[in-house]
Amino acid sequence: MVIAKCGVGKVCAAVCAQTMIFHFGADTLINSGVAGALDTSLSIGDIVIATSLVQHDVDTSPLGDPVGYISELKKIEMPTSSALVDLAEKVAQKQNVRYHKGVIASGDCFVAAPETKQTIRQRFGAKACEMEGGAMAQVCQMNDVPFVVLRAISDTADDRASMDYPTFVAIAAEKMAKLVKEVLKEM
């Protein structure tokens, strides 16, 4: 098992994912961390298990594509491994934590405005937003490697986000670490 702190943003996540695959021969990738809630049913501290990833900031719509369309893959949504989703769900149930399954939207920006949050939620039906998962997902798809993204909610991606994030990031990260450690044990 190889563990890395990939850094913030899609480029860091892509570099890390490709390094894991090429250099370390990883046959499965898990990305974990914190996320902003897009869906109002999510609260700070809840876990989100991604069933698929999108990149909300990819936009070739002037050429006639839908926003989020990844030309190299010819699609918008990148599905995660159902086996890894099932395993994460089993662990979340065992740990008695509140969890949700759904789409996670990634982009190179910290979402902290109600309008941006609503646009991303409506456009992609996404439950949460973060800045790395979608990039790792694309690398995994391009290399045919199964993956999952697991996140704990640190803020609500609106005008409270810049205050809530520093307050709750450590608590959310700790909850996430506890879950991911158990997932790794069970693999």
135 scored as a contact of ligand ADE (CB under 6 A): no
120-153 as b/e: b if 16+ CB within 10 A: bbeebebbbbbbbbbbbbbbbbbeebbbbbbbbb
Tell me the backbone φ, ψ of residue 104, rounded to 5 degrees.
Answer: -110, 135
104 scored as a contact of ligand ADE (CB under 6 A): no
The stretch among 14-22, 62-70, 104-112, 119-127 that binds ligand ADE (CB under 6 A) is 104-112
**What is the Cα gyration radius of the chain?**
15
Supply 46's token pair: 């809840």
165 scored as a contact of ligand ADE (CB under 6 A): yes
The stretch among 12-20, 92-100, 118-126, 128-136 that binds ligand ADE (CB under 6 A) is 128-136
Q: How far is the CB of 91 from ligand ADE (least distance, A)?
A: 21
Question: From residue 138 to residue 157, what is the string marking binding to ligand ADE with x (rule CB under 6 A)?
Answer: ----------------xx-x
